Structure 1
Amino acid sequence: MFGLRHLYFSLAKLPINWLVRIKAIPEQPKESLNIDLEKPVYYVMRTRATSSFIMLEQQCKKLGLPEPKYINSTQDDIPNGAVFFIQHKQIFGRRPSTIKKYFDRLQALLKQHEHNQDHPQILPVSIYWGRNPGREKSLLRLLLTDTESATPLRKLLILLFQGRNSFMRFGKPLKLNLLDQHSNLEHKARKITRTLRVYFHRQWIAAMGPLVANRKQVITSLLANDTVIESIKREQKKKNISYEKARKNALKYADEIAANYSYKTIRFMSSILSWVWNKMYGGIKVFNAERVRELANDHEIVYVPCHRSHIDYLLLSYVLYYEGLMTPHIAAGINLNFWPIGGILRRAGAFFIRRSFSGNRLYTAVFNAYFHHLMDKGIPVEFFPEGGRSRTGRLLQPKTGMMGMMVQNFMKGCRKPIMIVPVYIGYERMMEGKSYIKEMQGGKKKKESMGQLLKVRNQLKQRYGKVYVNFAEPINLEQWLDSNVDDWKASNPDERPTWLSEKVLALGEQCMTHINQSAIVNSVNLTSLVLLSTQRRTLGKRELINQIEWYISLLKSTPNCGDMYISNDNAASVVEEAKSLGAVQEFNNPLGNLCQISEQAAVLLTYYRNNIMHLIAIPALIASCFRQRLSLQRAELIANCKAVYPLLKRELFIKYSDEELSNVINHYIQEFGNNKLLTISEDEILRPNINSDEYSQLILLADTLKETLERYGITLTLLATHAGQSAISRSQLENQSQKLAQRISALYNIYAPESFDKSLFQQIVGTLRRNKFIENGSDGDLIIHGSIPDLQHLIMSMLSHSTQESMLKTARWAIARWREGSA
């Protein structure tokens, strides 16, 4: 009997080895799932099949897991690595008695470990032969889509067409010691079997998604939506047109918006993108994917990634696909709907959205109905809360449109609870680098077109380092609403609640904060952070390595650092990596080699520096307090940092609350003391000797925040000048701040285009208003409170004398010109 089985398996392995290429998820299940190999491990698969067992055997050998073993009915003990199955094939398959055998052996396993303390682990294993969920009302899906219950003929077809696109998912181990110890063995076995059946079903849905609906049927159902019908009638009355013409407008909007999801396109794109990534990038590093796999079982997932490159659209879907999860439907800007990209993206799950709804209530109603359709069907959705790509490397302030729609659609009711998953995407180098430099220097953004697409082939000849994708801490929407909105369930879901705008903005800001908590620190942004803080973007190589070591130490000590990762914690290796990517140049010098960022590269490298500016902002703020002070009392130091922190918190999306800040500052003070950058004498904090290396390190750290503090100083100087003398409106303040910053940047050779980014000045003014430093007057002019000069004086004291002098001199000149112009 053993000889026949061995021969059968040997013959079966030949076509499987030839036809099948399978990927394990997660790639290192021992570490990711905390599988303890010192304790017995037993495997459970959904359906008994020779091909499934062979693939399990191969993967376990590769991954260092216990060897899978078929269970012999005559064995007294169940061996480590035994494989159980919980269902039988329905057609031309095995008899139900086969599964009863496994149920009986499961009881035997429970009895075997009833009084043992070794806590055996039952490891569920799912195999997906392909990833096609199939279309609704399609006969073809019965033959070619994924199933472990296939008859031999169907399985052969599946292996032929899907064998090289297969995945094996190892689930979190089920521990027998967690079962009710007072139940009998049969009851425990039934409970395990029921739990695993539900588990396998949910895993299938998470990986495949629901059946794909016919696009025409989706569009027809949108036009039958009650809210859309009401909007059509309103359009008819408002424009004095026939109902049919108004309905055609709605049909045009629905056709413009709706995706046309195609599994063939997904497979084709996955192959193309695998080639592109290998050609351009040195690897895609993914963090915390297991977190999302667990959530996808019983939640509607809404991905909210940061937006830095057009590649983001493709990258996140690619990563999710190869992590065994359904690719999301993506809200894409209408600017990408050009031939041929628009059609490809639409079939890959993109649905298109206009930049502005411009009061178009019919378009709004159709889009809202489509968005609710996706969420109600359990289709994962992705949108970019920033609304557009960041040109500065900082996260942009979140737009509230899509976020508000998500909240309102959730209030209308969805089949599953919504889990928002913020996603950090970081690049060591970006394809759009040169175009971003032009745009940051005032150039006009080029419209996406086929011509631009053809230029991409030139990008394929270059190397762009690694890409990092980190799934941040999720936000349960219902729990967030319970904590932040009083009695939200009493709101009418068909009407816009009065609290929506304010609370959705707060939710968006929390999403951005979670993204920043999950930043990946790489060699390019770390070296840029140091060298761009020096006067001539140049530093001795030894000094550069020492400063990077100090920053890495600070980052590792960050309180409650969340999901932040450092890609390389060896400072010397960080510098070499940055050199290999062209971010840093090294020059020989008799007194020691020098590292430099060229003038041409400096503007772009501010982008990468800004990716992690928020991680070092509080230590840099502490260091800035000692620029002009020999010593500070601890209480005064904390008070100074707290006064400036609200501006930093909102601009850089730093996670610490005002209540947490004192402890965080005290933590960093201790770190500074441990590294001799500050001396702690009871409640007095002293800076190092001005001639020491420690002082140079302290001021270099302070200089990372110099341009940010200058920006605050510009706005506060204008406010302090106008206080009690002349009126100024909010728009005037923002415009004058931007123009003054542009002049200072040009005069004093500042290589940071975001220094005069108008949106950042709008942010500063908004934060000052939120914190009651200024108010909107009834006549449109700002009411400036007396605390503004104090805050301005504090921030100016954190800048060098030369910086203060140049800023005040330019400000006086500009204000005089503006007053002459108004006179």
Structure 2
Amino acid sequence: MIPNLLKNKLQKKRKLKTSVISDAKKTTTTNPSVPPSYSSTPINQLYRKVSGQTLNVAVKAKLLGELPVLDAEDQTLTFYVLQDYSRSNSILIDLQTQEYQLPPALVSVKDSPHDIDENAAIIFLHHPRAKERKVSPRLSRLVAASLQHPNLKIRLIPVSILWGRAPEKEDSLLKLLMSDNWEDPSITKQLFNIGVMGRDTFVQFHTPQDLRTLIDETLNADKNDDGDNVERPATADISHSSTSSHALVATKDANRELVRAMQQQLNTYLDKQRTTMLGPDLSDRRNLVDKLIYSPAIKHATEIEAQEKGISVREARNLARGYANEMVNDYSHAIIRVFDRFLTWLWTQLYDGVDVHHFERVRELATDHEIIYVPCHRSHIDYMLLSYVIYKRGLSIPYVAAGDNLDVPVLGPLLRGAVAFFIRRSFRGNALYTAVLREYMHTLITRNTPIEYFIEGGRSRSGRLLPPKMGMLAMTVHSQLRQSNKPVVFIPTYIGYERIMEGGTYIGELKGKPKESESLLGLLKVGRKIERIFGNVHLSFGTPLHLSDFMTKFDVPADSLPADRTDTPLGANATAMVDNIGVKIMQHINKAAVINPVSLLSLVLLSAPKAALDEDICREQIALYQGIARNMPYSDDTVITKMNPQQIINYGIKLKLIERTPHILGDIIQVAGKQEALLSYFRNNILHVFILLSFIAALIARNGRIKRSRLDEIVTQMYPFLQSELFLYYPAHGLMAVLDQKIDNLIAHDLIVDLGDGVLSAPDANSNSYQQLQVLATPVEQSLERYFMTLALLAQQGSGNLTEDEVVDLCHLLGQRLSVLYADDIPDFFDRSLFTSFVNALIRLDYLKKDQDTGELSFDQRINDIARHAKYVLNPDMMQTLQQVASLDEKEIAHAITEISNKKQRKFGRKR
């Protein structure tokens, strides 16, 4: 219940404001605390103070988005634009302008030379005084003044006020009461919002707009729409008071139409902003399922299912309904509010901070585009973290595609209420399930619901990006080609941690430990780790990718698929487009990488013998990596930590990832016990930034000196494999220019020496620069070792003797063995996806040919040509080790393939 005292105060405020408005017109007393163009009477000041304090009892507004940046010396008059007239909205905006030191809202605005005399700096688009004209009186006066005085400067700042952020329900009986806007004189609704929603009130100041620019744009738009010149009210028409009453009426009518058009534009703008914050209106879950099942597309799919399975259409429809109930979300604003408070507490407990980069580029697109967030997938925390960041910055939460492995008791309903929708991990061959999922995706997209899915399919266990899975991406494209309401834009999103909860689990899984199923017990186990220090977490929103640009590039016409079917296949061009979008998304995620202190420290220490360095050398190496990354950034979107090397070292010690060992000759920095494998995960997050530099360093360090032509040849031949593994964005045709820049960067840092005549050399072997070059050369070695081991296996087994799966499986086994015996148990060699990526690149580049019938791989001498480049990078002992590991006789091959096959069957049986 709202206290009677509050109600009485509100009624007194209504009476007080009426008297203040009338008194304000009679005074011109200037308040020296505000700009000269604003004035306020003592009574007005008293009203602001009393009404503000009264409202402040129940309302604690939260600011969304960024504040407008205004020049303090600028004398431009500022007016705030709200959609609906409301005294409480006026007071709330006035409180916000005071708190954030913006031009005041509830003071008189007087500018006699330009005929401006307003009792407040707020424009209501829907005002009770507008009556039948349906135009804002204040906006009309300001437009007239602007037309009469060309030198008058007025800025409009649109403002959104939300009393609660619950999306409205379609067909809801409480929709009117729960509306975030309330009109005068509805005290009931006013009290409801203040009393019930007061602590969940949000305010967003949008980008300022110049009134004269709006006038010109509106006049030009009318001219283009009508094909004739719209009568533009000239200064002479107003200032000279035409003797013709007909001309005067025409001018007033033209003004009214101009204001009406501008008002409509501003109203549409605020409507769009409101939608980006709340999302579209919701249907309840039951109604949404019904709409899906009885849509033309699913009717068609159920008829086909009934024919093929020999069942009735009703049975097929019930089956489709079951699928829909599996996946469709059940949005609950109450759960969202619980998550908001819980996650605010959790991040405070878990992390030192959540750093967000480049979010404004998302906000700029949200009003007019269908947003598809495509983040990398590093942890289960990703689901909650990304949604939390988006929500806190004032945009509506995306609906998240989650694997049905998360649909477990307690946790599943909570996630489903927090806009997760569940899909099966595998549904190949199930045409009806595919149809229902496609139609549900289509429903979300056509309703302009923001969506989020993890294009890698699952969480990365190694820290590298996984090859993209094209299923959800293809469904998005399929929907857009059936019907396009808003243009689709993909937002690649990089998520980087400094510690992850699942670190130990990931390493165990890479080494063959069975993956644990998600459960409430598992969640509670994770909860025990909350008191540990996890550092900062970083979110970086990459450069958006517009689907329309790809459609133009691949010549895919809009609306080229039937709107009432889900089973129409994509054409060859559209399929190629989907593959290209998938790769570009991964590249843009990597371009938005954050080189945080832990990833930088991991890259340095894991490149050193025994993962330890003298502290002075460690600082120098960190400074070197920072200098290289800053002198020639990997991308404009890449973010580099601002900590200095000593702060980075101290930070790693604080997180208990490294430790300092005191020594009389100088302290030693080394990786803390059992943390080496975990740090390789964070090193791999940024490996792509330094991999070409590392390759160049390795070629020069291992050979002492090398001809530039030889270096170019080797890098050019090996680059496609590194590009495929790490999603490097440099195009092959521009690689030489990139190499020139990177070599110049290394020369500038004294890491290599240009001897002239096309010869590059390492610095003196006893120099500090040489030691730094050796450390820089190390990161690329493990990739090249995997490549050489795979090539050695192929060469020794011969052309046409192994299938693609067999090669990958055997390399995976050999990698595990090599890592345990020779490579300090680094988990990279356990990552099956890395071998898959290399073999796929060999097939794509035509080094391997796959027999369509048997699946066996054949090759020619070029395989050996690639392998011979290993001697320029790998030392002879490692090459000999790799040859020995890859030497398997027919009996060992047969035994290994049988064991792998049995293991896969057992795993598949457990999944079923």
The two structures have a TM-score, normalised by structure 1, of 0.93
Greater shift in the superposed pair: 702-711 or 146-155: 146-155
Q: Is the 8 A contact 1:708 1:755 kept in 2?
A: no
Code of the aligned partner of 1:165? D
2:345 pairs, out of 264, 275, 287, with 275
Code of the aligned partner of 2:581? L
Code of the aligned partner of 1:145? S
Correspondence for 1:122: 156
Code of the aligned partner of 1:110? S
2:667 pairs, out of 564, 569, 593, with 593
How far 1:266 moved relative to its partner?
1.1
Correspondence for 1:727: 801
Code of the aligned partner of 2:773? L
Once the two structures are superposed, residues 284-309 of structure 1 have per-residue CA deviations (whole angstroms, 9 ceiling, x without a partner) of: 11122211111110111111111111
Code of the aligned partner of 2:138? Y
Residues 486 and 345 of structure 1, relative CA distance in 2, 3 Å threshold: closer
2:792 pairs, out of 709, 713, 717, with 717
Whole-Å separation in 2 of the counterparts to 1:61 and 1:637: 64
Whole-Å separation in 2 of the counterparts to 1:721 and 1:39: 80
Q: Is the 8 A contact 1:69 1:79 kept in 2?
A: no
2:413 pairs, out of 343, 346, 354, with 343
Q: Does 1:300 pair with 2:370?
A: yes
Q: Does 1:783 pair with 2:868?
A: no
Q: Secondary structure at the match of 1:626?
A: helix
Once the two structures are superposed, residues 306-351 of structure 1 have per-residue CA deviations (whole angstroms, 9 ceiling, x without a partner) of: 1111111111111111111111111111111111111111111111
Correspondence for 1:83: 121
Residues 785 and 84 of structure 1, relative CA distance in 2, 3 Å threshold: farther
Q: Secondary structure at the match of 1:600?
A: coil
Whole-Å separation in 2 of the counterparts to 1:821 and 1:273: 47
Code of the aligned partner of 2:817? R
Q: Does 1:162 pair with 2:197?
A: yes
Greater shift in the superposed pair: 1-10 or 34-43: 34-43
Residues 248 and 98 of structure 1, relative CA distance in 2, 3 Å threshold: closer
Q: Does 1:402 pair with 2:472?
A: yes
Q: Does 1:24 pair with 2:89?
A: no
Correspondence for 1:702: 777
Q: Is the 8 A contact 1:125 1:170 kept in 2?
A: yes
Greater shift in the superposed pair: 166-175 or 615-624: 166-175
How far 1:703 moved relative to its partner?
0.3
Once the two structures are superposed, residues 355-400 of structure 1 have per-residue CA deviations (whole angstroms, 9 ceiling, x without a partner) of: 1113111111111111111111111111111111111111111111
Whole-Å separation in 2 of the counterparts to 1:292 and 1:821: 50
2:570 pairs, out of 497, 506, 513, with 497
How far 1:570 moved relative to its partner?
1.5
1:45 pairs, out of 73, 81, 84, with 81
Correspondence for 2:508: 438
Correspondence for 1:289: 359
Correspondence for 2:521: 451
Whole-Å separation in 2 of the counterparts to 1:820 and 1:327: 51
Residues 103 and 489 of structure 1, relative CA distance in 2, 3 Å threshold: closer
Q: Secondary structure at the match of 1:585?
A: strand
Code of the aligned partner of 1:170? F
Correspondence for 2:42: 3
How far 1:526 moved relative to its partner?
0.9
Once the two structures are superposed, residues 648-687 of structure 1 have per-residue CA deviations (whole angstroms, 9 ceiling, x without a partner) of: 1111111111123222111111111111111124433221
User: Which blocks of at least 5 consecutive residues in structure 1 are unaligned?
Assistant: none
The percentage of counterpart residues that share the same residue type is 33
Q: Does 1:354 pair with 2:424?
A: yes
2:139 pairs, out of 92, 97, 103, with 103
Whole-Å separation in 2 of the counterparts to 1:233 and 1:408: 21
Residues 325 and 792 of structure 1, relative CA distance in 2, 3 Å threshold: same
Whole-Å separation in 1 of the counterparts to 2:645 and 2:704: 30
Q: Secondary structure at the match of 2:528?
A: helix
Whole-Å separation in 1 of the counterparts to 2:77 and 2:351: 38
Code of the aligned partner of 1:705? V
2:883 pairs, out of 808, 813, 820, with 808
Once the two structures are superposed, residues 526-554 of structure 1 have per-residue CA deviations (whole angstroms, 9 ceiling, x without a partner) of: 10111111120101111111111111112
Whole-Å separation in 2 of the counterparts to 1:820 and 1:173: 71
Would you say how many aligned residue pairs link Structure 1 and Structure 2? 814
Residues 94 and 578 of structure 1, relative CA distance in 2, 3 Å threshold: farther
Whole-Å separation in 2 of the counterparts to 1:684 and 1:65: 62
Q: Does 1:256 pair with 2:256?
A: no
Q: Is the 8 A contact 1:88 1:149 kept in 2?
A: no
Q: Is the 8 A contact 2:455 2:469 kept in 1?
A: yes
Whole-Å separation in 1 of the counterparts to 2:600 and 2:634: 20
Greater shift in the superposed pair: 135-144 or 705-714: 135-144
2:482 pairs, out of 412, 415, 420, with 412
Whole-Å separation in 2 of the counterparts to 1:130 and 1:596: 51
Whole-Å separation in 2 of the counterparts to 1:168 and 1:37: 26
Residues 133 and 76 of structure 1, relative CA distance in 2, 3 Å threshold: farther
Residues 66 and 109 of structure 1, relative CA distance in 2, 3 Å threshold: farther
How far 1:128 moved relative to its partner?
1.9
Correspondence for 2:696: 622
Q: Is the 8 A contact 2:79 2:156 kept in 1?
A: yes
Residues 100 and 328 of structure 1, relative CA distance in 2, 3 Å threshold: closer
Correspondence for 1:240: 310
Q: Is the 8 A contact 1:523 1:577 kept in 2?
A: yes
2:287 pairs, out of 202, 214, 217, with 217
Whole-Å separation in 2 of the counterparts to 1:37 and 1:262: 47
| Structure 2 counterparts to residues 483-494 of structure 1, below 5 A | 483-485=553-555, 490=560, 494=565
Whole-Å separation in 2 of the counterparts to 1:445 and 1:618: 34
Q: Secondary structure at the match of 1:591?
A: coil
| Structure 2 counterparts to residues 523-602 of structure 1, below 5 A | 523-559=597-633, 561-602=635-676
Greater shift in the superposed pair: 73-82 or 599-608: 73-82
Q: Which has the larger radius of gyration?
A: 2
Code of the aligned partner of 1:786? Q
Q: Is the 8 A contact 2:463 2:681 kept in 1?
A: yes
Code of the aligned partner of 1:156? L
Correspondence for 2:706: 632
Greater shift in the superposed pair: 75-84 or 381-390: 75-84
| Structure 2 counterparts to residues 180-219 of structure 1, below 5 A | 180=216, 183-184=232-233, 186=255, 192-219=262-289
Whole-Å separation in 1 of the counterparts to 2:493 and 2:392: 16
Whole-Å separation in 1 of the counterparts to 2:631 and 2:795: 38
Once the two structures are superposed, residues 538-586 of structure 1 have per-residue CA deviations (whole angstroms, 9 ceiling, x without a partner) of: 0111111111111111212335613111233422111111111111111
Residues 745 and 138 of structure 1, relative CA distance in 2, 3 Å threshold: same
How far 1:736 moved relative to its partner?
2.3
Whole-Å separation in 1 of the counterparts to 2:519 and 2:529: 16
Code of the aligned partner of 2:823? N
Q: Does 1:70 pair with 2:140?
A: no
Q: Is the 8 A contact 2:109 2:121 kept in 1?
A: no
Code of the aligned partner of 1:586? R
How far 1:137 moved relative to its partner?
1.5
Whole-Å separation in 2 of the counterparts to 1:204 and 1:302: 19
Residues 573 and 81 of structure 1, relative CA distance in 2, 3 Å threshold: farther
Code of the aligned partner of 1:748? Y
Whole-Å separation in 1 of the counterparts to 2:652 and 2:339: 31
2:750 pairs, out of 657, 673, 676, with 676
Greater shift in the superposed pair: 306-315 or 483-492: 483-492
Correspondence for 2:841: 767
Q: Does 1:750 pair with 2:784?
A: no
How far 1:82 moved relative to its partner?
7.3
2:206 pairs, out of 171, 174, 183, with 171
The two structures have a TM-score, normalised by structure 2, of 0.84
